Amino acid sequence: MCLHTPPCPTADRPDREAARVVAAHPEQGWSLLCNGALRFDDGGELLPDGRVIAPHRPLTATA
């Protein structure tokens, strides 16, 4: 699906979130990545094969 050089990671790879955004809908809280995954603002994802990735956020350092 990705036509970029170098190609974006596929939706089944752990680094799938590094793929480029091809359609952003911040008012609805989601973005479509070029690998076919939907990324939601809460950190959750919907993969092209229908799998759901639970919302997750990166851990932040505490002062």
Cβ proximity of 54 and 48 under 8 Å: no
Please report which confidence band the pLDDT of residue 37 belongs to, taking 50, 70 and 90 as the band edges. very high
Straight-line distance from the first to the last Cα atom of the chain, in angstroms, rounded to the nearest whole number: 42
- Please give the distance of CA 42 from its chain centroid, rounded to a whole number: 11
Segment 21-35, tens digit of pLDDT: 999 999 999 999 999
Please report which confidence band the pLDDT of residue 13 belongs to, taking 50, 70 and 90 as the band edges. very high
Instruction: Determine the Cα–Cα distance for residues 62 and 21; give it in Å rounded to an integer.
Output: 30
Scanning 1-63, the segments in alpha helix (DSSP H) are none
Return mean pLDDT, the chain: 88
